[in-house]
Amino acid sequence: MNLKEYFSLPTAVLVLGGKGGVTTQNQPVFFLGVLLGALSKVAYDHFQGTTPFAWGSLVIAVIGSFATFPTIYKNAGLSRVGRLTFAKWCVAFQYGLFWQVVFQEIGKNIPH
């Protein structure tokens, strides 16, 4: 699987009517939810006054989204979903909002 396929999440979908059968449907919306959540965290911290705004924070949030997405996708149950719903997208957004916590959990599992 190449990088484009990984982040567009091809998912098997049952097609009813016509010829019927199984096809694949891409759902890159989950990754976008994680990414928007991570970027929202930077904005939230800035407006709360906890950290000053810096472009570097946005870059780190984007990198963090790429780094944590595989774990989020697997552990949040997004890999087992059928139809995309707003509630499932909100789960991806929530995990993106707290990507630093996810990153810390990944770090705990790395052998020292």
pLDDT digits (tens, 9 = 90+) for 44-78: 888 988 888 888 888 888 888 887 777 777 777 77
Q: Which two tokens stand for residue 3?
A: 């990088």
Q: Report pLDDT digits (tens) over 17-52.
A: 556 565 555 567 888 998 999 999 889 888 988 888
More confident residue, 56 or 83: 56
CB contact set of 58 (below 8 Å; sequence gap of 6+): 39, 42
Q: 22 in helix, strand or coil?
A: strand
Domain residue spans of the chain: 28-108
Residues 53, 30: Cα–Cα separation, whole Å: 26
Output DSSP code: residue 36. Answer: H
Is the pTM higher than 0.95? The answer reads no
Type and span of the H or E element at 15: strand 10-15
